Amino acid sequence: MEEKVKEKKGVALKVFGVSLFIVGSLNAVLFWRGGMPLDVFNPSVMALGITFFIIGTLRGIE
């Protein structure tokens, strides 16, 4: 049972990171299609999503 817990370590961070990246990229596409300039929020949300995904991946390796 402990092996199954170790395998799932970091999965929540990976899912949260991917969802943040998707939300940030979809928001950037909406800004682009609307003709509005991108602000700092969209790239920062995508970078935060990538960061959470990397942290989740590293936690799963241990």
Alpha helices (H) along the chain: 2-7, 11-33, 41-61
Alpha-carbon distance of 33 to 47, in angstroms, equals: 21
36 DSSP assignment:
P
Alpha-carbon distance of 11 to 41, in angstroms, equals: 25
Q: How confident is the model at residue 1 (pLDDT cuts 50, 70, 90)?
A: low
The type of residue at 30 is L
The residue extents of the domains of the chain are 2-61
pLDDT in tens, 9-57: 889 999 999 999 999 999 999 999 999 888 898 899 999 999 999 999 9
pLDDT at 2: 62
Q: Is the pLDDT of residue 62 over 70?
A: no
pLDDT at 41: 87
CA 61 to the chain's CA centroid: 18
Alpha-carbon distance of 19 to 13, in angstroms, equals: 10
